[in-house]
Structure 1
Amino acid sequence: MTETRDAEGTGHAAPWLPYGIAGVKIVFILAVFRLLFTPFSEEMLGEQWLPMPTWDWALASATPTLLVLLARRPADWSALSGELTILRIALIFYFVYGLAFAAFQGEAVLWASVLAGLVGLVALHLLNRKEPVHDI
């Protein structure tokens, strides 16, 4: 009886996990679209409709970090293991963009994005290195 159980007492992943994964993917696609739309609108339409991302980028960068931190249980982590590549890509993308614009353009609010990306990458690395619990 040493199997891992969730809050309901089963060994299954949390029911909200697929929605969290879909949410992270949707937010990532919208963030990339938001990032690319600003230069596109300025070049094609002659005026910049949206400024470069700042606080909204910091919020978007927190979504994969929150998912990784909330899915720490072994049952959740095994369900999330198929999505590690997209999580890693999103976290690196948020981290690099935040670091570049925080350092070179002076956007102080993007340091939150850098911190969220760094925390998410470290958590992803640490949770990925953990060995699963084995029944004897």
Structure 2
Amino acid sequence: MAEGAEAEADPRRLRVNPFRVLFLMKVVLALALLRCFAGPATKDFLGRELVSMPTWEWTLCSLTPVILIYLARHPKDWMELSGERVMIRGALGLYLLYALMGAIGKGHPALWIAVAVCLAGLAGMWHLNRKERLRAG
């Protein structure tokens, strides 16, 4: 109990509302999907591809779930996000899948950074879930 009281009383700990960051993550995910499908859609409708497939911007988009995981690393914040973890894991999985396909298939070296970021995010989620189970048990 003393450990939890110290964490709550620590004036240096900045309390971030994880649901605001989660909303930002969902907006960025929607924009990333729109950006991903914009190239093929313009080719279908206009006959030529006006927007190329995402590369470096996909790496920036893949950072949003990792930032959310980092900001919600406190056990209380992580418990608040218990209902949204599937969404976070799904976003990381989608970013990872596209980054792997682009890095291997198209040879975009910038997408290897996105692969590393996504793997780090999944490892962070695994660590926080494991820490939560150890604390409960």
Asked if 1:77 corresponds to 2:50, the answer is no
TM-score, normalised on structure 2? 0.87
Q: What do the CA deviations read for 1:42-80 (whole angstroms, capped 9, x no partner)?
A: 111112121100111000001101111221111111111
CA-based RMSD of the aligned residues comes to 2.1
Counterparts in 2 of 1:33-52, with a 5 A limit? 33-52=34-53
Counterparts in 2 of 1:5-20, with a 5 A limit? 5=5, 9=9, 14-20=15-21
Asked if 1:127 corresponds to 2:128, the answer is yes
The answer as to whether partners of 2:99 and 2:112 remain within 8 angstroms in 1 is yes
- Structure 1 pair 67–6 and aligned structure 2 pair: CA distance change class (3 A): farther
Amino acid in structure 2 at the alignment position of 1:124? M
Asked if 1:22 corresponds to 2:23, the answer is yes
The answer as to whether partners of 1:6 and 1:75 remain within 8 angstroms in 2 is no
Amino acid in structure 2 at the alignment position of 1:120? G
Q: What do the CA deviations read for 1:20-44 (whole angstroms, capped 9, x no partner)?
A: 0101111011101110111011111
**How far apart in 2 are the matches of 1:88 and 1:108?**
24
Report the CA distance between 1:133 and its aligned residue: 4.0
The structure with higher relative contact order (CA 8 Å, sep 6+) is 1
Please name the residue that 1:4 is paired with: 4
TM-score, normalised on structure 1? 0.87
**How far apart in 1 are the matches of 2:63 and 2:113?**
9
Gaps of 5+ in 2: none
**How far apart in 2 are the matches of 1:133 and 1:86?**
23
**How far apart in 1 are the matches of 2:2 and 2:135?**
9
**How far apart in 2 are the matches of 1:65 and 1:105?**
25
Q: Which runs of 4+ in 1 moved over 2 A?
A: 1-10, 13-16, 131-134
**How far apart in 1 are the matches of 2:88 and 2:6?**
23
Gaps of 5+ in 1: none
